[in-house]
Structure 1
């Protein structure tokens, strides 16, 4: 009988029936290793022992000296052969990618080489939203990139490496690892996108269930149904153009992934086939001695930023693209580079959540995905077409193929057949995009609250609060919070001072030093789906989800705990916000307190003289791992440098060589 509801004591401590089949010796593999006098005399002992282990794991002994290729992935969970879960993954994005690893490994084996697989799983920003797990989310990226680089180096005879990853931190980490692998051929296999459902809310909207229930906008039964049915497939990144999808787009735009691989529908035949073709491409890169450093270059970095702007992706890529550049030894983009690119490139893609029609990412793939967008950018003369890609050909050659390809015709026909949509309803040229009301996505406001800069996804501001001249203007009093928990309770009306329409939420102490730069989608999703939420802007030193909407100004630098002026704001301070969506400029300014109003210089002097907010401090349960990460990235330049580890700056600060 069970103790309470758990298993019995006997079940826990027993298992005697397994002892009778236990062995104390085993028969080694039969056969001979392909050893030569040269190998025995000159090869490292590790090579010989590695061959012994390869045979021990079941590989044919005579094939243990084949060229070695490493497949790294962020696989999570354990699936049965029929797809049913044995142990769940942290998120759907890494749940099915073992199928990609298997297909790639099988293909490599057919090519007469020796495949290896290594794994470094990743967390989920959605699962950790509003929890202390969020304190580990962004720091994980640097840790994982280090582990992945170590795994690559720990297979000394590898000829090439494939990185299979999907989501918010795992894929940026994989790009960092491969970009930093220098002379090694490599390729990224994006893990794809989840299929949307026709009878449920998307994975962005369901994250606001709690806030809508608190305001009696939905009932419990509705929440239960929607929460259950949002995922149209077991695997893949979320439906929207958030950080997961944006990372896939950027990997392909860099030339690190095959053409038309980003945003492929997870679990579908076209998705599995991508892994097969990527394995062939990797063998080709190794044969032709084309290393990753010839692909991730200053020119391909510019291309990636252009494509990212044309898609209108997640603001989190302001952290990840510089980190990939840093890993590759390139000059990372500065704030002025982001501004220049965003002014240069119109948004060409109508994808959830930036609208106006909000197509899910799988439909963006079916409209032609990254290469279709690149055709338009080529027509505008913006791309460097001479950069090398993982096909072994230049970007210009890839686009020449795509323009005339059977694949392009077939995918567009399938979109029309399944959804009765034309590809150019989703991916447009510049003129059509303007007629559809698409504008450049990001504005980088400055001001006395954000002297180092900040970012707002201007396209995500509700059009009804934008003036006719395409300028968002909002002046009001600040409601200052030092924790996301307190802010969400005030939004839900569960605090002594609930948020009112017109308030400006200022969330401080949530940058890298305070919380590991947590993502605050709890706040932005709640405000999106509460009727008056569009009248409540947010200013924070934290970051946002790629699906966040509203007048949300994040990445404010310096962060509060690094001495930033945002950390000196108080309840009742008057803040003036101006976001110009047409000219892509903006200001966020402290302009007064009480009935007093200041000139810009007076306001700056007042903030300078103030002490930090009395409640400002790092989160109570911030892990030591994250505190160390925060200190190292702060020395290295902080969030606007990509939250990287700049070893030279760190060693200089430590007084080391």
Structure 2
């Protein structure tokens, strides 16, 4: 079989004026002639930014990738794309996930790249890079930045999930605000993303279980020298992937998506996994629906004892053998023949994995928790579905009937949640509207609403909470999220009023509000939208075109892809 001509030759292989222009300007960086002679050009898509602290070590990590590319005879070129820092961006990083994916897609398509290495870590950087790359579909490998080292404060281990606990302790006077300063310094003590199974770690596990990274990528701490080794090996491998023409569409089959869903359930991954995987499936052309997540997760117990669903941290997962040990524990459940980025099947990748700590990684037969990591609910409150994370919820609230306490938007919630006249008790159901994709806009991580101060003072630590927004993967509690259609769309969720009776039945996968169809119809006649959808530039583009949560909240015109061919030539 003849070797496929490199895509980059359409630039650097040209004769005359065009080739002169493409090569001459690159040579101002000190690149000799032979570098342009039929070498695979590998782009390193870097989300380094000092405004994205989780990714602040990526310039150094990129150098390790370059060493691997050079070793394999490739031509590395690093380029920046929009970086989405979860902790600093306002109003929410999720608003810009689709924008970053556009940046990635167009940067790859427009330039002379034969393959690409995606450097991603913080929550939205992973799905946005994968989404953008899927829409181009050239050989691609993912290198995650790795979790930070576990925090330690006065002899006690801590991670991002503890923020919610400390916040409640400050509100109830158990600790002083000043003490938080010392805790801050003790928690984030190295490079890397959140130390727990939050969204960033869930995304790292997602790409490994999909087959988009080398084995072991998900759990190596950012500060561990073996993270650099994996980066160099990934650079080495991407050159061979180009020679094999092993593209994203070859790896991202329906079976690969099913594997990722099963793994997410077993590790208690973030609920954000759902919305991101749906968007990725839409870009690569795999049919995936919200109901598939429930069918594939339903009988899979939690076998990774990691915060926020359990006790341990990502660093512990690595020492216990990493994600390959989890995959091996699921051997009878996964599709074993799925091809991965290293050219091997996923089963071959985990076949020799050895577990070193059975408290951190248990088995399907003797799981850490029989509750699965994900469930999909339907009912008249959420006609198109909603999600809950049973493994991080309270068992006594899995079946619950309570009266709604409704907050029309996040400002309403902040203004009233701790007031003395708020009519609420521990049986109430907190309902937060207008924090969905269009209504906020951007679908922020506010779904795990802090409990009312008067409830916390009773010693109550959990209540049923429902919103059309999201929750940080580090969050926990009996929290129903991603209600679709969102309140801003004027569906049933928008019609709920304080005092309405809500019934949650996780075992029955249902979520309903006791309003008759006639009453709902009457309320819809009287309904006045709370938020006027306005804006300019990207925000207007987003609100005009963003899809609902059950479709992945991608923008309608971005679903699918344009491929790698450049249709017009400017020279």
What TM-score, normalized by structure 2, do the two folds share? 0.88
Indicate the residue corresponding to 1:278 in structure 2: 234
Shift, 1:514, TM fit:
0.5
- Larger displacement relative to structure 2 (162-171 or 45-54): 45-54
Counterpart check, 1:59 vs 2:15: no
Given the superposition, is the C-alpha separation of residues 443 and 622 from structure 1 closer, same or farther in structure 2, using an over 3 Å criterion? farther
Q: Deviations over 1:242-299 (max 9, x none)?
A: 1111111010111100001112100211111110010111111112222222111122
Trace 1:248-263 onto structure 2 (pairs within 5 A).
248-263=204-219
- Larger displacement relative to structure 2 (185-194 or 172-181): 172-181
Q: Deviations over 1:8-62 (max 9, x none)?
A: xxxxxxxxxxxxxxxxxxxxxxxxxxxxxx9999547454323212220122344
2:44–2:76: 8 Å Cα contact kept in structure 1?
yes
Shift, 1:567, TM fit:
0.5
Indicate the residue corresponding to 1:564 in structure 2: 491
Trace 1:38-49 onto structure 2 (pairs within 5 A).
42-43=14-15, 45-49=17-21
Query: Which of 405, 427, 444 is equivalent to 1:502?
Result: 427
Trace 1:574-613 onto structure 2 (pairs within 5 A).
574-580=501-507, 585-591=508-514, 603-611=516-524
Question: Which one has the largest radius of gyration?
Answer: 1
Query: Which of 377, 386, 392 is equivalent to 2:337?
Result: 386
Q: Which has the higher helix share?
A: 1
Higher RCO structure, 1 or 2 (CA under 8 Å, sep 6+) = 2
Indicate the residue corresponding to 1:418 in structure 2: none
Indicate the residue corresponding to 2:480 in structure 1: 553
Given the superposition, is the C-alpha separation of residues 62 and 280 from structure 1 closer, same or farther in structure 2, using an over 3 Å criterion? closer
Counterpart check, 1:431 vs 2:365: yes
Indicate the residue corresponding to 2:349 in structure 1: 398
Given the superposition, is the C-alpha separation of residues 477 and 44 from structure 1 closer, same or farther in structure 2, using an over 3 Å criterion? farther
Indicate the residue corresponding to 2:328 in structure 1: 375
Given the superposition, is the C-alpha separation of residues 495 and 620 from structure 1 closer, same or farther in structure 2, using an over 3 Å criterion? farther
Trace 1:88-103 onto structure 2 (pairs within 5 A).
89-90=51-52, 92-103=53-64
Shift, 1:165, TM fit:
0.2
2-structure distance, mates of 1:152, 1:479: 48
Given the superposition, is the C-alpha separation of residues 383 and 624 from structure 1 closer, same or farther in structure 2, using an over 3 Å criterion? same
Query: Which of 369, 378, 390 is equivalent to 1:446?
Result: 378
Trace 1:14-93 onto structure 2 (pairs within 5 A).
42-43=14-15, 45-65=17-37, 66-77=39-50, 89-90=51-52, 92-93=53-54
Given the superposition, is the C-alpha separation of residues 155 and 454 from structure 1 closer, same or farther in structure 2, using an over 3 Å criterion? same
Shift, 1:101, TM fit:
0.7
2-structure distance, mates of 1:279, 1:294: 19
For the residue of structure 2 that corresponds to 1:474, the secondary structure is: strand
2-structure distance, mates of 1:151, 1:457: 36
For the residue of structure 2 that corresponds to 1:372, the secondary structure is: helix
**Alignment coverage as a number of residue pairs:** 545
1-structure distance, mates of 2:445, 2:282: 26
2:438–2:546: 8 Å Cα contact kept in structure 1?
no
Given the superposition, is the C-alpha separation of residues 364 and 39 from structure 1 closer, same or farther in structure 2, using an over 3 Å criterion? closer
Shift, 1:538, TM fit:
1.0
1:517–1:543: 8 Å Cα contact kept in structure 2?
no
2-structure distance, mates of 1:287, 1:42: 21
2-structure distance, mates of 1:437, 1:204: 19
Indicate the residue corresponding to 2:531 in structure 1: 618
1-structure distance, mates of 2:105, 2:87: 26
Query: Which of 295, 309, 321 is equivalent to 1:354?
Result: 309
Q: Deviations over 1:592-615 (max 9, x none)?
A: 6xxxxxxxxxx2321222137867
Query: Which of 408, 412, 432 is equivalent to 1:486?
Result: 412
1-structure distance, mates of 2:314, 2:145: 13
Shift, 1:181, TM fit:
2.7
1-structure distance, mates of 2:16, 2:325: 49
Given the superposition, is the C-alpha separation of residues 47 and 641 from structure 1 closer, same or farther in structure 2, using an over 3 Å criterion? farther
For the residue of structure 1 that corresponds to 2:178, the secondary structure is: helix
2-structure distance, mates of 1:115, 1:457: 41
Q: Deviations over 1:334-369 (max 9, x none)?
A: 1321111111322221110001xx211121122222
Q: Deviations over 1:442-479 (max 9, x none)?
A: 2222222112111111222234x35xxxxx23322221
Given the superposition, is the C-alpha separation of residues 282 and 535 from structure 1 closer, same or farther in structure 2, using an over 3 Å criterion? closer
1-structure distance, mates of 2:330, 2:322: 13
1:633–1:645: 8 Å Cα contact kept in structure 2?
yes
Q: Deviations over 1:175-222 (max 9, x none)?
A: 11222332x211000111011122264222225545432321211232
1:203–1:239: 8 Å Cα contact kept in structure 2?
yes
In the alignment, structure 1 segments of 5+ residues that lack a partner are 1-37, 78-88, 413-421, 467-471, 593-602, 651-657
Indicate the residue corresponding to 1:162 in structure 2: 117
What TM-score, normalized by structure 1, do the two folds share? 0.77
2-structure distance, mates of 1:327, 1:301: 13
- Larger displacement relative to structure 2 (305-314 or 164-173): 305-314
Q: Deviations over 1:158-189 (max 9, x none)?
A: 2211101012111001111222332x211000
Over the aligned positions, Cα root-mean-square deviation in angstroms equals 2.7
1:125–1:519: 8 Å Cα contact kept in structure 2?
no
Counterpart check, 1:108 vs 2:69: yes
1:346–1:440: 8 Å Cα contact kept in structure 2?
yes
Given the superposition, is the C-alpha separation of residues 555 and 104 from structure 1 closer, same or farther in structure 2, using an over 3 Å criterion? same
Indicate the residue corresponding to 2:91 in structure 1: 133
For the residue of structure 1 that corresponds to 2:426, the secondary structure is: coil
Indicate the residue corresponding to 2:564 in structure 1: none
2:197–2:270: 8 Å Cα contact kept in structure 1?
yes
Trace 1:265-344 onto structure 2 (pairs within 5 A).
265-331=221-287, 333-344=288-299
1:367–1:427: 8 Å Cα contact kept in structure 2?
yes
2-structure distance, mates of 1:268, 1:209: 28
Indicate the residue corresponding to 2:567 in structure 1: none
2-structure distance, mates of 1:367, 1:192: 16
2-structure distance, mates of 1:39, 1:556: 47
Query: Which of 513, 520, 536 is equivalent to 2:438?
Result: 513
Indicate the residue corresponding to 2:6 in structure 1: none
